[in-house]
């Protein structure tokens, strides 16, 4: 007999729901379609959740609209890309010709699966000329080294930041 464990992250925040719907409707629709976000509201309150099984990509909500910010923790799989990151990128590219990305891999990050690495490669190549800036925030040595290596192949500005410099990374990628 096998059992599975589903982990949920729950957060609550105050928002202007009219502004949210107007500015982020494409992203919200994609995330709701994949059951990765549930938005409920009363008097401008919203509750959302992102679910995963020992994996997690969470989208940041404190960046300009042309920037996708995400935090990776635990094991990142191809399913994470397919259900969270790819729909977010596709939605942004409906509005913007070029977008920027901030990718934070913190202390909770464990590894990428082969499926995640393949989806990352496909996403980057499929939208090769759509990237303006890429900020990678991590203290993980092999991620920093791989980013240095592959940044030479990227037709956009790529910059690596230490975890303690997350605010600086947000500022740089937002300019």
Nearest Cα to Cα of residue 92 among 156, 30, 35: 30
The chain-wide mean pLDDT, for the chain, equals 78
Half-sphere exposure of 168 (CA within 13 A, CB side): 10
Average pLDDT value for residue range 114-127: 90
Q: Check if the beta carbon of residue 36 is closer than 8 Å to that of residue 66.
A: no
Q: What is the pLDDT of residues 65-110, one digit of tens each?
A: 999 999 998 889 898 999 899 999 999 999 999 999 999 998 888 8
Q: What is the pLDDT of residues 27-70, one digit of tens each?
A: 656 655 555 444 443 333 333 334 444 447 889 999 999 999 99
CATH of 53-174, one of 3.40.1280.10, 3.40.50.300, 3.40.50.150, 3.30.750.24: 3.30.750.24
């Amino acid at each position: 007999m096998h059992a599975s464990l589903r982990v949920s992250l729950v957060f609550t925040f105050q928002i202007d729901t009219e502004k949210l719907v107007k500015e982020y409707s494409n992203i919200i629709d994609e995330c709701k379609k994949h059951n990765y976000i549930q938005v409920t509201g009363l008097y401008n309150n919203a509750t959302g959740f992102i679910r995963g099984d020992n994996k997690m990509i969470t989208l940041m909500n404190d960046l300009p609209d042309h920037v996708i910010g995400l935090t990776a923790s635990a094991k990142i799989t191809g399913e994470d890309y397919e259900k969270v990151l790819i729909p977010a990128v596709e939605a942004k590219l409906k509005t913007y010709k070029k977008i920027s990305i901030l990718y934070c891999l913190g202390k909770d990050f464990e590894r990428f699966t082969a499926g995640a690495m393949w989806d990352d490669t496909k996403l980057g190549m499929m939208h090769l000329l759509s990237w303006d800036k890429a900020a990678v925030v991590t203290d993980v040595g092999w991620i920093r080294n791989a980013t240095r290596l592959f940044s030479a192949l990227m037709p956009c500005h790529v910059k690596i930041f230490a975890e303690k410099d997350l605010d600086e990374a947000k500022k740089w990628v937002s300019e």
